[in-house]
Amino acid sequence: MTGPPTDRTPTQRRRSSGLESFRAVLESRLGIDQRALGAFRITLGVLLLADLALLRLPGLDTFYTDAGVFPRSTLLEAYPTVGRVSIHALSGAAWFQAVLFAIAGGFALLLLVGYRTRLATLGSLVLFASLHARNPHLVNGGDTILLSFLLFGLFLPLEARWSLEARRQPDPHGRRVCSIATAAILIHFVAIYVTNAVLKFQSEPWMDGTAVQQIFQLNQYLTLLGPALSAYPTALAATNWLWTAVLTAGALLLVVTGRRRIALVAAFVATHLGMAATMRLGVFPFVMIAGLLVFLPPGVWDRLERLLVAFDLENRLGARSAGDGDDAPANTVEDDAPSRLGRGRRLVVSGLVACLLLSSLLWQAAGIGVVDTPAVEGELDEAGWTFFAPTPPSAHSWYAIEGTLESGETVDVANARLDRPPTAAETYPSTLWKRYGMDLRYAGETQYESAAASLCERTDREVDSLTISLVEQPVDPDGPVGEPTVYERLEYDC
């Protein structure tokens, strides 16, 4: 009996070489360095903690309890479906919300340090989705993108590097992970930029270079350097074209590698940092920066690891050496999944990830009008991923709230008045108030009644009644146009 031949024919060698080359091309574009996943996990944990502590916690009583401006009765009337699935809507007491905030903070901390990472990711996803469902008026695009990252993160080895779990695991066999999950999150992220670029090319203000100038006339969005920058139209026009150009190049994140990809990531990071320095956007700019980390190639992480070694931080972070050089083999799902999950479970997981990606792409395609989607109850303008596209808002708006005392005297309950536009700092006292006020502009009377009832209890002076008016000041790229228009929303007896 003779064994199988050991020498391959030239055709077989060429075919094998071609397959290896094709696999290398895919891995360099759709694979993710394990250290990038570790940095991504750490950044998500930091963002979740910051969002809770700095943004949500100060508004816990105002926005998430029955004593606040949006009690559960109003939630269930305006958003019956999401109101019924929110864990936070099980009670309207402040102590109950505080307990859930603490649990969510615990999950975020576990995610940051990489302990029980998959459980921490799932817990963070569930509790933050529940929190957003408790008050949908406070949700913006950055929040929904962060949730999508947590969802895709369930299928990624976020714990592989720089985590407490990595200290207990054997060394990985490759520097880069390549699977349907890595491809899905990369494609999902790039699609956000691509659809936004398409919307901007459909927009007259963006194409004539005036969109950013008009956005910087909207005081409710400006913060830090924003008001000062609004006085330089030439710089704003240049920013308009620069951001459009960077967005247009977004699809190349899946095409280029090495230094070209690093340069493209750096361009996006710089623009998002510029947004954070000038506009009141919550965690959105930093969520996008977190997503960009997974595109950085091994060379960047090699340099970072050398710094960690120099400062003796590598072992403290649970980092492990995964091989040297950019040519270290990639881990794929096929390398280790059979022993852990079995072929059947692996196929189910792959199918689920593919469905999630398809759903994401269909949602974004609907945003640019390629496909139709069914109407969603209480659709929210700021929860989508359009970001001032295709057309920026054409009016700066604020609320004037007047209280009538028992003597008949009228007092200003809010800083803003009917007869003058407020400064950027006066428009809304916080990011949550800005989101709530912007989304409430065209809501029904019931939601205004809930807000008025809460304001009656919170005012420094005893008022007999409140009058809530929405004031809109039309703007164009050069500034205000005409006189403000006043829309009286509610008269309420305290």
∠ CA 255-150-359, rounded to 5°: 65
Average pLDDT over residues 300-314: 81
Peptide bond into 71 cis (omega under 30): no
For residues 102, 103, 105, 106, the Cα torsion angle rounded to the nearest 10 degrees is: 120
Question: Which range is most confident: 41-45, 279-283, 397-401, 478-482?
Answer: 41-45
pLDDT at 279: 94
The type of residue at 16 is: S
pLDDT at 325: 42
What residue spans of 31-93 are helical by DSSP H?
Answer: 34-50, 60-64, 72-78, 80-85
pLDDT at 342 > cutoff 50:
yes
Whole-number average pLDDT of the chain: 86
- DSSP for 342-358, please give it: -HHHHHHHHHHHHHHHH
pLDDT at 337: 45
Q: What CA–CA distance (Å, rounded) separates 29 from 264?
A: 14
pLDDT at 333: 41
pLDDT at 391 > cutoff 50:
yes
Give the residue, 47 or 455, on which the prediction is more confident: 47
C-alpha distances in Å from residue 453, one per residue of 9, 67, 83, 468 = 83, 9, 21, 11
pLDDT at 363: 86
Q: What CA–CA distance (Å, rounded) separates 291 from 276?
A: 16
Show me where the domains of the chain are located: 27-367, 394-493
pLDDT at 319: 52
pLDDT at 384: 64
pLDDT at 205 > cutoff 90:
yes
Percent of the chain residues topping a pLDDT of 70: 83
Do 314 and 166 contact (CB within 8 A), yes or no? no
Average pLDDT over residues 44-64: 97
Tokens, residue 396: 């700066």
Average pLDDT over residues 292-307: 93
Q: How does strand 485-493 pair with strand 465-476? A: antiparallel
The least confident of 122-126, 234-238, 278-282, 404-408 is 404-408
Confidence of residue 418 (pLDDT cuts 50, 70, 90): low
- DSSP structural state of residue 222: B
Q: What CA–CA distance (Å, rounded) separates 430 from 299?
A: 41
pLDDT at 288: 97
pLDDT at 419: 64
Confidence of residue 148 (pLDDT cuts 50, 70, 90): very high
Confidence of residue 142 (pLDDT cuts 50, 70, 90): very high
pLDDT at 428: 86
Confidence of residue 76 (pLDDT cuts 50, 70, 90): very high
The whole-model pTM stands at: 0.90
Confidence of residue 475 (pLDDT cuts 50, 70, 90): very high
Tokens, residue 208: 């004539």
The least confident of 32-36, 126-130, 334-338, 452-456 is 334-338
pLDDT at 415: 65
pLDDT at 56: 97
Token pair 């949730």 in the structure block, residue = 147
Q: In what order do the strands lie in the sheet with 330-332?
A: 32-33, 176-178, 330-332
pLDDT at 376 > cutoff 80:
no
Give the residue, 310 or 114, on which the prediction is more confident: 114
C-alpha distances in Å from residue 480, one per residue of 215, 345, 472 = 12, 60, 10
* Residues sharing a CB contact under 8 Å with residue 53, sequence separation 6 or more, in sequence order: 105
pLDDT at 386 > cutoff 80:
no
Q: How does strand 176-178 pair with strand 330-332? A: parallel
Confidence of residue 266 (pLDDT cuts 50, 70, 90): very high
Average pLDDT over residues 211-224: 92
Q: Sign of dihedral through CA atoms 200, 203, 209, 210?
A: negative
C-alpha distances in Å from residue 382, one per residue of 110, 137, 189, 266, 284 = 30, 9, 18, 26, 11
Confidence of residue 17 (pLDDT cuts 50, 70, 90): low
